Structure 1
Amino acid sequence: MKKLFLILLLLPALPVWSQHRDYPIQAVPFTQVKLSDNFWLPRIKTNHTVTIPASFERCENTGRVKNFEMAAAKSGKFCTVFPFDDTDIYKTIEGASFSLSLYPDKKLELYIDTLIMKVQAAQEPDGYLYTARTINPEEPHHWSGKERWEKERELSHELYNSGHLYEAAAAHYQATGKRNLLNIALRNADLVCATFGHDKKHVAPGHQVVEMGLVKLYRITGKKEYLETAKYFIEERGHFDGYDAKSKDLWKNGAYWQDHIPAADQREAVGHAVRAAYLYAAMADIAALTDDKGLLNAIDSIWNNVVTKKIYVQGGIGAVGDGERFGENYELPNATAYNETCAAIANVYWNHRMFLLHGESKYIDILEKSLYNGLISGVGMDGKSFFYTNAMEIKNSYQHKHMEAERSGWFPCSCCPTNVTRLIPSVPGYIYAQKANDVYVNLFISGTSTLTVNNKQVQIEQKNNYPWDGKLAFHITPKATQAFTLQVRIPGWTQGQAMPSNLYAFENATGNKATITINGKPENYAVANGYAVLTRKWKKGDVVEVNLPMDVQRITANKKVEDDLGKVAIQRGPLIYCAEWPDNNGKVSNIILPKGTTLTPEYKGDLLNGVTVLKGETPAVKIDSQNNTISTVKQNFTAIPYYAWAHRGKGEMTVWFPEKITDVSIISK
């Protein structure tokens, strides 16, 4: 009750305002969802007990906190590597704020408050906050330029720092009701708005995120300048005359920063993948809030480009290590796949917004694919080891310099670990959404949510063992009998669709369909936009049961993806599988997966924190180096969920398997 009283005291300090335009569908906030899930709750708990404390400790030990202390004293020398290292503190505060709403923790809350005091002390009187300059303005970081904002377009990351400050402040305010970090963010945002604009200083931020952050501050305060400046930053793209438009070099023509042509004219995903997906998410925000049809057309086209030509089978984006960027259409190499963890997180942000705009399940299909595969692969089960990049194959005979075969505690550039810290506890906010009388169920995660439909309270409790089992139960408890529509996502993978495009396809779709019963009686449901539409007068005790077929599916790639020709990948439910060396006689690059191979699911509670593996018998190529002979033998085969690899030492792993032998390459060591 004391906490509620505090929030009520603080809220009147913000303007009362009415927002006329917004996403037609609204997400149900994470604060309204309480999980009991066997898959996600342990991860969120580990994030709270291990990842967040480890992240804060590493911010202390690496000098990130010291940078703020020196900035407050205006004495010393910036002591970390990158001028965006400030954001690791902001992102960890954001994750800790989400986590506090799930696990009230006075000690953690007090520590966050002490950090916020250090951030406040480092802020300059006019709101500027950037330790890489404030510590010693005469000798700022060499990426920063001699004057404020001088190198913002390319290197300084001043506005990137601001954006993560705003995102952290919004989460902290939403979770705790406190304004201490919010006030710091608002002072900085006021400075940014006073500095940049069509009739002020011109720049397209070099690393996007400030746009999304400003939108969040606009939602909290209703201050139109925040929305206008966010829109300005997007509209400023493609107007810098310092680039060589004829050059094919992405850095020289501006494409690396998505600054080569106006945002509304862009139709292809190019450049740095994280920056790009942050931009596309912000374009969705602005399209929703301002009804900007040009931006909407642009992100619709770009999304189509990604999903038809530039995404890996496990949801990863950003194929090329040189520039952490998108490659050309169909350029999806396995041996050198980059797949930055931050890019998977940005892809979740973007696709969630696309769903809120359009209400189609295909966006959640991509979100789910990224979330369950290419994103959580980026954090170890110990909660304190990470992948920056997410490989598609590791061979004993070859490993590209960008590929990681084992997780690391942190990195000199630790954007991915702290990004994971803030994403994991926000998962409850992606489960449900509403539009008037329509309640959308997007993710299948056990727990209870309390919603308001037609000004009446409705409780929905999910019970399932997803992603291992496709049997889902939804217990509906309205405060009083009332009519509304429950829209339950029917995943594309249950409808013979490996991807909402022709980039990947199931080799032999089973044809098994999802079945639904209400109170034990079969429901002949209709599907609209990928959702089972269940409209009725709901009463206390109603139970919806959905059974999703969890068939083992073989995936083939579009023939234009050269690295995957003649190969198959494996999927069961939302999970992509891989083979790893400990389960397959120490090697996987010699395994063949012929058509007709039977793979049987088997749950292993004592393996990798509990996983369903796929078991079968497959041919494998064996080499007898003494006699210079090659033979093919049958051996037992085991595949594990892709997210769970690299927990048992260094060795081979692969996602794609040849269906037959067509050639042999001889490598002599």
Structure 2
Amino acid sequence: MKKYISLALLTGLSLPAFAQNKDYPIQPVPFTSVKLTDHFWTSRIETNRTVTIPASFARCDSTGRIKNFVMAAEHQGKFCTVYPFDDTDIYKTIEGASYSLAEHPDPKLSAYLDSLITIVSKAQEPDGYLYTARTIDPLHPGPWAGPERWVNEQKMSHELYDCGHMYEAAAAHFMATGKRNFLNIALKNADLLVHTFGPDKKHVAPGHEIVEMGLVRLYRITGKKDYLDLAKFFIDQRGHKEYDKKSKNEYENGKYFQDDIPVIQQDEAEGHAVRAMYLYSGMADVAALTGDSAYIKAIDKIWNNMVGKKMYVQGSIGAVGDGERFGENYELPNTTAYNETCAAIGSVFWNQRMFLLHGDSKYIDVLEKTLYNGLISGVGLDGKSFFYTNAMQISNSFSHPDIERERSGWFVCSCCPTNVVRLIPSIPGYVYAEQGNSVYVNLFISGTGNLVVNDKKVSITQENNYPWDGGLAFTINPASAMDMDLRIRIPGWARNEAIPSDLYSYKMPSAQNVLIKINGQPVNYRIENGYAVLSKKWVKNDKVEVNLPMNVRRVLANSKIDNDQGKVALQRGPIMYCAEWKDNNGLACNIILPKAAEFKTAYRADMLNGIMTLEAPAKSITIDAAGQNVSTQNVTLTAIPYYSWANRGKGEMTVWFPEQVKYVDILSK
């Protein structure tokens, strides 16, 4: 029996599309079918709608990004921003605004999008090509663009990268509004790519992946198999260019571009971290739609490498600033950690797809860790200040040029702020998923999801105060009595698993069990792939209660991570913590956390938009006024959620705390 795929698979808006046999075995519930009522996420989605999106459009205007399209339409002027991929900041903001429109109709915003789309359409060349850095003045394109179309694509022109983000945005706009004005632009451009690239045409491995994901999006909308075939073609082109294989320079040996060997032979997360996440996401999409098992085997190995050897304790990836890339195995420095916000967003995309392929909660465990920590740390609580990089330690005694100490309103390369714009409104689409008569509950966010399971309607209402409290309540309301397997994720952190590998572990295992009740009665349940499976005939107002242990945990790093030995990180529920100067006498990197120190928790509604703080007796290292005597004094450590740091000015911050001091290095600047 054929099934109809959702046009908005992985983005959330469900419209009927063409019949398709192969697809992800598990399907996400569209975000438009999930209405949130919690404070934690609804406040962020509202801030994104009212602050971040308008600020992003305003900055696209003031920096000349919009002007580039106007000049391209007129074929005169000079490209007025720095990077040829600056076009994508407009595309990504349109994408985020479209998702917002789907949930919160706004005629004024809709009209503004139409006006921008008109400007974009006029910049498109007759054959569909759209790349303002060349179209403004084809004889004098920017240095990254190359003298002719596509000749620098495998390096740094970003022509196909621009296309990919355009497709993502056009698909979102079409699904949100039903209008084809942007979609038609994208399809005309995609048809140009089909005409230009292929087995008997131009061969190229895109220098910055995402066109593969975008082409899949267009295939889902139109059913035009040429788009899916081209996505696979681009992926399969990797690993065939001649590089200097002996060079240790990743640009020269192809690793930076994930282009050193064919994708099905790759087994390690390598190169530019954002490029990598988009590539692996595209491979998952193509594998789901074509049944390519070799792709799945490859991304399984790569995922194990990333989570087992190349991920920070708060979910961030891409340790090395030179090339914004993955380092070697266990190369996870704190004082120079790069951790681009876009890489965290890409990790969420990829882990969602891995879950849809395999149905294992470990992928959602990583997604949740990234989402609540290393991703939302990238946007300030004001909604208009950002981190491009997400540091692990800021010390007054150490300075590194790549590490941001305070948030910025915009960047010359502003890929991260506009990526945040498009991710935040889609959060409700990550809460639930379905397969047959199984419903997966992946994220714990108060609100109601309206699902159709085996052609029967059922609503699930969550009530909780997550992530601050582990008490979860679910009310199940089927239209009529129905058999259903309710699969509630029991997070790894509630099963004594700090991460789905041996990269990090808890110092002391918790003896607390996860208690589940149905209609007030404790029940026995089985665990499958990290999910508590509750199988029964569900009737109206059936209630499920889950109690997750929320004790403070000390996290240890694998012995191969040199920088974290003798130290602990702090976790409570899904939230990783840090110490910041503001709460700790102006410093943070001088704190010793004794092994026996016990923690107190307190919810502070008046602090950083409402957070749970941790406090414990600690020691601080002090130096006398003469700079000759070093001593310790008793203090109270106050720790705040990692995501909330750098919202109160500039100063020290640290995630890892030594439990004792064995020696002192004397450093000089």
TM category, shorter? over 0.9
Q: For residues 109 and 516 of structure 1, what CA distance do their matches in structure 2 show?
A: 45
State the shift of 1:141 in Å: 1.4
State the shift of 1:170 in Å: 1.2
Q: For residues 19 and 244 of structure 2, what CA distance do their matches in structure 1 show?
A: 44
State the shift of 1:613 in Å: 0.3
Confirm whether residue 576 of structure 1 aligns to residue 571 of structure 2.
no
Q: For residues 64 and 631 of structure 2, what CA distance do their matches in structure 1 show?
A: 56
Distance 1:668 1:218, change over 3 A: closer
Give the residue type in structure 1 aligned to 2:244. D
For the Cα contact (< 8 Å) 2:17–2:220, is it kept in 1?
A: no
For the Cα contact (< 8 Å) 2:448–2:462, is it kept in 1?
A: yes
What is aligned with 1:395?
A: 395
Q: For residues 582 and 17 of structure 2, what CA distance do their matches in structure 1 show?
A: 60
What is aligned with 1:3?
A: none
What is aligned with 2:254?
A: 254
Q: For residues 400 and 628 of structure 1, what CA distance do their matches in structure 2 show?
A: 26
Q: For residues 410 and 17 of structure 1, what CA distance do their matches in structure 2 show?
A: 41
Distance 1:667 1:248, change over 3 A: closer
Cα RMSD after superposing both structures: 1.2
State the shift of 1:246 in Å: 2.1
What is aligned with 2:615?
A: 615
Give the residue type in structure 1 aligned to 2:432. Y
Q: Secondary structure at the match of 1:596?
A: coil
- Give ranges in structure 1 of 5+ residues lacking alignment: 1-6, 8-13
Q: Per-residue CA shift, 1:220-265, capped at 9, x if unaligned?
A: 1111000000000000000112x11222211111110000000010
For the Cα contact (< 8 Å) 2:213–2:281, is it kept in 1?
A: yes
Q: Per-residue CA shift, 1:495-524, capped at 9, x if unaligned?
A: 000010000000001121211111111111
Q: For residues 369 and 399 of structure 1, what CA distance do their matches in structure 2 show?
A: 28
Q: Per-residue CA shift, 1:518-572, capped at 9, x if unaligned?
A: 1111111111000000111111111111111101000000010000011100000
Alignment of 1:379-394 (within 5 A): 379-394=379-394
What is aligned with 1:304?
A: 304
What is aligned with 2:12?
A: none
Q: For residues 410 and 588 of structure 1, what CA distance do their matches in structure 2 show?
A: 27
Q: Per-residue CA shift, 1:294-349, capped at 9, x if unaligned?
A: 11110000000001100000000000000000000000000100000000000000
Q: For residues 22 and 394 of structure 2, what CA distance do their matches in structure 1 show?
A: 48
Give the residue type in structure 2 aligned to 1:551. N
Q: For residues 377 and 598 of structure 1, what CA distance do their matches in structure 2 show?
A: 27
Q: Per-residue CA shift, 1:598-621, capped at 9, x if unaligned?
A: 111110000000000001110111
Alignment of 1:87-236 (within 5 A): 87-236=88-237
Q: For residues 268 and 18 of structure 2, what CA distance do their matches in structure 1 show?
A: 37
For the Cα contact (< 8 Å) 1:193–1:229, is it kept in 2?
A: yes
Q: Per-residue CA shift, 1:58-93, capped at 9, x if unaligned?
A: 000000000111111111111111000000000000
What is aligned with 1:323?
A: 323
Distance 1:16 1:613, change over 3 A: closer
Q: For residues 407 and 639 of structure 1, what CA distance do their matches in structure 2 show?
A: 20
What is aligned with 1:458?
A: 458
With normalisation by structure 1, the TM-score equals: 0.97
State the shift of 1:595 in Å: 1.3
Confirm whether residue 410 of structure 1 aligns to residue 410 of structure 2.
yes
For the Cα contact (< 8 Å) 1:15–1:222, is it kept in 2?
A: no
What is aligned with 2:272?
A: 272
What is aligned with 2:534?
A: 534
What is aligned with 1:10?
A: none
What is aligned with 2:10?
A: none
What is aligned with 1:58?
A: 59
Q: For residues 538 and 583 of structure 1, what CA distance do their matches in structure 2 show?
A: 49
Q: For residues 627 and 156 of structure 1, what CA distance do their matches in structure 2 show?
A: 53
Runs of 4+ in 1 over 3 A off after TM superposition: none
Q: For residues 450 and 123 of structure 1, what CA distance do their matches in structure 2 show?
A: 40
State the shift of 1:668 in Å: 5.3
Distance 1:668 1:130, change over 3 A: closer
Q: For residues 363 and 224 of structure 1, what CA distance do their matches in structure 2 show?
A: 29
What is aligned with 2:649?
A: 649
For the Cα contact (< 8 Å) 1:475–1:544, is it kept in 2?
A: yes
Alignment of 1:470-485 (within 5 A): 470-485=470-485
Q: Secondary structure at the match of 1:274?
A: helix
Q: For residues 105 and 361 of structure 1, what CA distance do their matches in structure 2 show?
A: 37
Q: For residues 228 and 209 of structure 1, what CA distance do their matches in structure 2 show?
A: 15
Q: For residues 94 and 17 of structure 1, what CA distance do their matches in structure 2 show?
A: 23
Distance 1:260 1:621, change over 3 A: same
Give the residue type in structure 2 aligned to 1:18. A
Q: For residues 306 and 625 of structure 2, what CA distance do their matches in structure 1 show?
A: 44
State the shift of 1:176 in Å: 1.5
Q: For residues 132 and 588 of structure 2, what CA distance do their matches in structure 1 show?
A: 48
Q: Secondary structure at the match of 1:136?
A: coil
Q: Secondary structure at the match of 1:45?
A: helix
Q: Percent identity?
A: 65
Q: For residues 29 and 87 of structure 1, what CA distance do their matches in structure 2 show?
A: 25
For the Cα contact (< 8 Å) 2:17–2:221, is it kept in 1?
A: no
Q: Secondary structure at the match of 1:18?
A: strand
For the Cα contact (< 8 Å) 2:22–2:288, is it kept in 1?
A: yes
Distance 1:668 1:295, change over 3 A: closer
What is aligned with 1:634?
A: 634
Q: For residues 60 and 541 of structure 1, what CA distance do their matches in structure 2 show?
A: 51
Q: For residues 202 and 441 of structure 1, what CA distance do their matches in structure 2 show?
A: 43
Q: Secondary structure at the match of 1:433?
A: strand
Q: Secondary structure at the match of 1:187?
A: helix
Q: For residues 113 and 627 of structure 1, what CA distance do their matches in structure 2 show?
A: 64
For the Cα contact (< 8 Å) 2:618–2:637, is it kept in 1?
A: yes
What is aligned with 1:355?
A: 355
Q: For residues 236 and 76 of structure 1, what CA distance do their matches in structure 2 show?
A: 36
For the Cα contact (< 8 Å) 1:15–1:221, is it kept in 2?
A: no
Q: For residues 179 and 515 of structure 2, what CA distance do their matches in structure 1 show?
A: 46
State the shift of 1:57 in Å: 0.3
Alignment of 1:526-565 (within 5 A): 526-565=526-565
State the shift of 1:140 in Å: 1.0
Q: Per-residue CA shift, 1:442-470, capped at 9, x if unaligned?
A: 00111111111111111111111100011
For the Cα contact (< 8 Å) 1:204–1:236, is it kept in 2?
A: yes
What is aligned with 1:4?
A: none
What is aligned with 1:439?
A: 439
Q: Secondary structure at the match of 1:403?
A: coil
For the Cα contact (< 8 Å) 2:556–2:569, is it kept in 1?
A: yes
What is aligned with 2:36?
A: 35
What is aligned with 2:289?
A: 289
Q: Secondary structure at the match of 1:21?
A: coil
Q: Which moved more, 1:447-456 or 1:57-66?
A: 447-456
Q: For residues 452 and 649 of structure 1, what CA distance do their matches in structure 2 show?
A: 48
State the shift of 1:15 in Å: 10
Q: For residues 364 and 399 of structure 1, what CA distance do their matches in structure 2 show?
A: 35
Confirm whether residue 503 of structure 1 aligns to residue 503 of structure 2.
yes
For the Cα contact (< 8 Å) 2:269–2:302, is it kept in 1?
A: yes
Q: Secondary structure at the match of 1:144?
A: coil
Q: Secondary structure at the match of 1:597?
A: coil
State the shift of 1:146 in Å: 1.1
For the Cα contact (< 8 Å) 2:442–2:488, is it kept in 1?
A: yes
Q: For residues 498 and 645 of structure 1, what CA distance do their matches in structure 2 show?
A: 22
Q: For residues 17 and 614 of structure 2, what CA distance do their matches in structure 1 show?
A: 55
With normalisation by structure 2, the TM-score equals: 0.97
Q: Secondary structure at the match of 1:238?
A: coil
Q: For residues 115 and 531 of structure 2, what CA distance do their matches in structure 1 show?
A: 46
State the shift of 1:17 in Å: 2.9
Q: For residues 614 and 393 of structure 1, what CA distance do their matches in structure 2 show?
A: 18
Q: Secondary structure at the match of 1:618?
A: strand
State the shift of 1:666 in Å: 2.3
